[in-house]
Amino acid sequence: MGVGLSQRLVPDELWSLVVPLLPSFASRPQGGGTAPVDERAVFTAVVYVLTSGCAWRHLPETFGVSSATAHRRFSAWTEAGLWRRLHQAVLDELGARGELDWTSAIVDAASVRAKKGDR
């Protein structure tokens, strides 16, 4: 994958926030399996899919990660709460730098009519 694209998708500052939040993957006790993959390459591939709208199965080979591996890690990271914790870490970092501006914000909500007789 081109270094330029990788750096745009996951700059070093973002990666430094991500690394301590990633769940560790233990090697299989019985051995075998596939060779370990570069976590940053997997994370970059996941970010590419999430930001581009690309289907998992169409993940370009230039990322050096199979679409199955990228999707498996995305699912594991989602289950482990990575995205929520990363969002908080980014907000904390921006707040510490004084780069958050809360003078305007957007709140999204859904409103559903209650069923008759339910309280």
Q: What is the DSSP-derived secondary structure letter of residue 116?
A: T
The pLDDT value recorded for residue 9 is: 94
Whether residue 109 is contained in a domain is answered as: no
Q: Where are the beta strands (DSSP E) in 1-107?
A: none
Domain carrying residue 66: 3-19+38-96
The pLDDT value recorded for residue 93 is: 93
- The low-confidence residues of the chain, meaning pLDDT below 50, are none
37-64 pLDDT, tens digit per residue, is 899 999 999 999 999 999 999 999 999 9
Whether residue 101 is contained in a domain is answered as: no
Nearest Cα neighbor of 66 from 36, 43, 32, 42 is: 42
Whether residue 105 is contained in a domain is answered as: no
The pLDDT value recorded for residue 12 is: 94
How far, in Å, CA of 66 to CA of 81, rounded? 23
Where do we find the tokens 């209650």? 114
Residue 111: burial class (beta carbons within 10 Å; 0-12, 13-18, 19+): exposed
Whether residue 85 is contained in a domain is answered as: yes
Collapse the DSSP code of 51 into the 3-class scheme (helix H, G, I; strand E, B; otherwise coil) and give the result. Answer: helix
The pLDDT value recorded for residue 105 is: 76
Where do we find the tokens 């769940």? 23
The pLDDT value recorded for residue 107 is: 79
